[in-house]
Chain A
Amino acid sequence: DAKTTQPPSMDCAEGRAANLPCNHSTISGNEYVYWYRQIHSQGPQYIIHGLKNNETNEMASLIITEDRKSSTLILPHATLRDTAVYYCIVRVSSNTGKLIFGQGTTLQVKP
C-alpha cells in the first residue's frame, strides 16, 4: 500500500472549514484514499473514502487531485468535537481490508 504524508498538527477556528491535506505521490491506480479519525481515548472512526472522484457525505468532503497524488479532507464547519487525530490511508480495494495507520494529523479546533 502507498505511503502517505500528513502534517503532524493543525489548528482551526470553530465554525470555520478545516482543510486537512494528505500527500500520496506513489498511489497506484487501484488504490483508494481513506480517512479515519480518532477522538481521544476512543477507537478510530471511519469518515470517508474515494478512488478518483470527489466525495461528500454527512461528515466531510474528500477532494482528490486529478493526478491522484494528493487529497484534502474538508470539514465544512468545524466544531470543538472535531478535535481529533485524522488519518489518511491509501490501500488497495481488495479482499484484505487491512488498514495501515501512519502518524496522522492532530487537528485542534479552537473557540
Chain B
Amino acid sequence: DAGVIQSPRHEVTEMGQEVTLRCKPISGHDYLFWYRQTMMRGLELLIYFNNNVPIDDSGMPEDRFSAKMPNASFSTLKIQPSEPRDSAVYFCASSFRGGGTEAFFGQGTRLTVV
C-alpha cells in the first residue's frame, strides 16, 4: 500500500478563497483523522471519522471549516472562506479499529493563505 495520500502537497491561496484538502486513507482502515500543525499550537486534532461517519468534530476551529468522508477511500477538509490565520500544515491519518493500534500519517498539505 502507498500509505496515506494527501493532495495537494502545497497550496497557496488568497484570503477569502475556498480551499479543499484531500486525503486517501490506507485501504481497509476504518478511522480517519484530520490534524492541523502550527508553530504556536502544535499538532491539533480537528475531526475524526469512523466508518465514514464523523465522530468528534470538537476540534474544528469554526464554521468556516468542514470535513466530509463520502466513502471509505476519500475524505476532504474544506475551508470557506480562508483566512491568513488558517495557514498551517494539515495532516490526515488513518488507523484500523482505532484503539490499541497505530495511526499512519500522510505527508501533509502546507497551506498558505495570503
Chain A 80-111 interface 0/1 with B at a Cβ cutoff of 8 Å (1 = within): 00000001000011111111111110000000
Judge if B61 is at the interface, Cβ distance under 8 Å: no
Which residues 1-16 of B sit at the A interface, judged by CB distance below 8 A?
4
Task: Name A93's contact: one of B35, B50, B100 (CB within 8 Å).
Answer: B100
- With a CB–CB cut-off of 8 A, which chain B residues contact A101? 35, 42-45
**Which of B48, B91, B98 has a CB less than 8 Å from the CB of A44?**
B91
B interface, by DSSP: helix, strand, loop or mixed? strand
Contact (Cβ within 8 A) A97 B48: yes
List residues of B (91-114) whose CB comes within 8 Å of A's CBs.
Answer: 91, 93, 95, 97-108
Which residues of B40-71 are within 8 A (CB) of A? 42-45, 48, 50, 55-56
Q: What residues make up the interface of A, taking CB atoms closer than 8 Å to B? A: 32, 34, 38, 41-46, 49, 87, 92-104
Can you report 18 A-B residue pairs in the complex whose CB atoms are below 8 A from each other? A41-B108, A43-B93, A44-B91, A44-B105, A46-B102, A46-B103, A93-B100, A94-B98, A95-B97, A96-B48, A96-B56, A96-B98, A98-B45, A100-B45, A101-B43, A101-B44, A101-B45, A102-B42
